[in-house]
Amino acid sequence: MALSLPRGTRIVAATHNPGKAKELAALLEGRFQVVSAGELGLPEPDETESTFIGNAILKARAAADRSGLIALADDSGLSVAALDGSPGIYSARWAGPGKDFGAAMDKVRERLEETGFEDLTAWFSCALAVAWPHGGPVVAVESRVDGLLTFPARGAKGFGYDPIFIPDGGTQTFGEMEPQAKDAISHRARAFAALKAALFD
């Protein structure tokens, strides 16, 4: 029997990041009753896997098993070509325990300064995992969007590293774009398209 997520299902979004929770809810298009892991007081598991897919599955499984609900988890991050793909899966950790992405963006700029800013190629990756509780099945997908970095940071409409990333073919950073415009082309939107094709009615 094929797995599916019928409309109206109550699911937990396995995130404590309010910006990410809001973006996930918007991409779900009102199909489900969504509650975040932060709202439920669920602990954040240690992200011990070496890939975005691995960490998404880990987070989805942890939230599903603790809440008893079907869980959706996202693991995403910025990879910079000149930094050998860093920060990558460590994107959130570069922001520190206080989730200071201003400091994280400064760290990216400082590392690039050491390379002479010759290559500003970068990409956002997003892995999404849906886990059923109590050892149930998991469905996971991954996608990315390519672009270039720009400094200084521009825009305050996004979150994370959005203000320094310009997607290919664009002139605005993700931080300058209206949410609907970003959602139409982002790494998360592309991953959601794959997930919808696999699971949504």
The catalytic residue positions are: 75
Neighbour tally for 107: CB within 10 Å: 18
What is d(CA 18, CA 159) in angstroms, rounded to the nearest whole number?
Answer: 10
Structure tokens at 2: 């094929």
Residue partners of 63: CB distance under 8 A and separation at least 6 = 12, 14, 37, 42, 69, 71, 73, 131
112 neighbors 92 (Cβ within 8 angstroms): no
- What single DSSP character describes residue 186? S
Distances (CA, A) of 89 to 39, 92, 177, 197: 24, 8, 24, 26
